[in-house]
A and B are shown apart, each in its own frame.
Chain A
Amino acid sequence: MTLKAQSAQTTETLTNQTDNLVQSSAQLSYTRAFMLVLKRDLTIAMRHKDDIINPLLFFVIVITLFPLGIGPEAQTLSRIAPGIIWVAALLATLLSLDRLFKSDHLDGSLEQMLLSPHPIFLLVLAKIFAHWLITGLPLILMAPLLAVLLHLDENSYGALVFTLLLGTPVLSLLGAVGVALTVGIKKGGVLLSLLVLPLYIPVLIFATSAIDTAALGLPYSGQLAIIAALFFGSLSLAPFAVGAALKVSTN
């Protein structure tokens, strides 16, 4: 009797221990899985540098086209500079979105990722974060330089950088939903812009208005707060949509 009780106790403690072990390893593997996916995507990007450089070049070239089309008057340019920079940023992000899931889908690693025991939310978030590091961050670093070319108002530089810092992750997150939906389609590129661009409108509106407000010397924290709200909203919701869409696309 006592023996039985003892053995029951030992098995209980054993299962408790294994539970703890599983829990701790799961906790460990959450961050590890995130870091692994992030590292993998960054390594791949580093090996294909044109993936980083081409959207950036596109961004620069589009912005230089506007003064040529509109005329070199500093006043006009500084009036439309926020809009031009932000629209060019939208388009550059759109161009770079394709690489988010396409090659992984083609070589089958996307399916393996979906089959892995880790939550898709996490893996998708890691991929999107890597995408932002590769495409969003260089854009932010480049933007003030191009703002000089467009005679952006001196007060607006801070607003420009802050809105890009909060806004480009939103672009990556929302864009990921569109890419995930179109990744299985052969001619997904044009369709992608149709799906994603309407969703980008709020970011565009609040970002340009923040920059305009800053040019007048007024506080623009309200607009920044709204972009931050958009950021956190899409951060918490978009990965779910991406996961569901990837499951549809990979069937």
Chain B
Amino acid sequence: MWKWLHPYANPEVSYHFTNKLLPWLSALAAIFLSIGLVWALLFAPADYQQGHSFRIFYVHVPAASLSMGIYFAMAIAAFSSLVWQLKLADASAAAMAPVGAAFTAIALITGAAWGKPMWGTWWIWDARLTSELILLFLYLGVIALHSAFEDKNLAGKAAGILTLVGVINIPIIKYSVDWWNTLHQGSTVSKLGKPSMSLDMLWPFIFCFIGFSLLVGVIICLRFRNEILARNSIRPWVRELVQQNTTK
């Protein structure tokens, strides 16, 4: 059943696979993002309560959910690298960490920019904001651990263990922060209640969401490719590739 997957354990094969994948992914990402963002920012109806500032939603929500999704993807990669000793899984986890951190930061910054007109403050110790901030810390820890080791293989394993410890902790942290907030704060600021969204607003959101997911795919593919090259720089096929490119 898994036979088709085996060839991709070879760095060369997966390098060429990402090469083939990249144009498709980037084209799709460009199409979805341009349609989605133009529709969302220019044509979607403004919210009756929040006005135009509601449009940050189209960037904020995809970034926030992708920031968590990337962490879980990273954890799956870390798990498979630790259990099945797949070096490429290591490379993919290393490729994902900074992207995830960037999207977490985007979610936090857009959240702050949205919070200022809506809640009148850049930051409140709301449960969701806090757990997103802690997620950012976890990402930064993984990245720091990656860069602390000289040996890439060791770095991958160590960061993998940390990622898995983090993934066990994320639900606990999330739950405890929710609990902490309801205890300490009470409802001084009522969160944006989930309004049943009209389809005019939902469709651009779906486009944006798919577009941002594809964009993440593109960036991760690019970084993954670089990781493969950096880790296999002594291999003959990499040298050939470099020579081909320099002679061109």
Contact = CB atoms under 8 A, between A and B. Distances in A.
B173 A202 contact: yes
A205 B180 contact: yes
Interface stretch (A50-58, A143-151, A190-198): A190-198
A201 to B, nearest CB: 6
A184 B161 CA distance: 15
B176 interface: yes
- If over half of B's interface residues share one DSSP class (helix, strand or loop), that class is named, otherwise mixed; here it is helix
A45 interface: no
Interface in B157-189: 157-158, 161-162, 164-166, 168-169, 172-173, 175-177, 179-180, 183-184
Using C-beta atoms within 8 Å of the partner chain, give the interface range for chain B: 20 to 34
A201 B173 contact: yes
B144 interface: yes
A181 B162 contact: yes
Contact of B141 (A185, A194, A205): A194
Given A182-B148, A185-B148, A241 B165 contact: yes
B158 A248 contact: yes
Interface in B91-146: 134, 137-138, 140-141, 144-145
Contact of A198 (B82, B157, B173): B173
Contacts, number: 76
A116 interface: no
A248 B183 CA distance: 41
Nearest to A238: B165
Using C-beta atoms within 8 Å of the partner chain, give the interface range for chain A: 20 to 34
B161 A244 contact: yes
A94 to B, nearest CB: 14
B149 interface: yes
A2 interface: no
Given A202-B169, A209-B179, 6 more contacts: A181-B158, A182-B145, A197-B137, A198-B141, A241-B164, A248-B154
Interface of B: 82, 134, 137-138, 140-141, 144-145, 148-149, 151, 154, 157-158, 161-162, 164-166, 168-169, 172-173, 175-177, 179-180, 183-184
Which 9 pairs between the two chains have the least Cβ-Cβ distance?
Answer: A202-B176, A205-B180, A198-B137, A248-B157, A195-B141, A205-B176, A185-B148, A194-B141, A181-B158
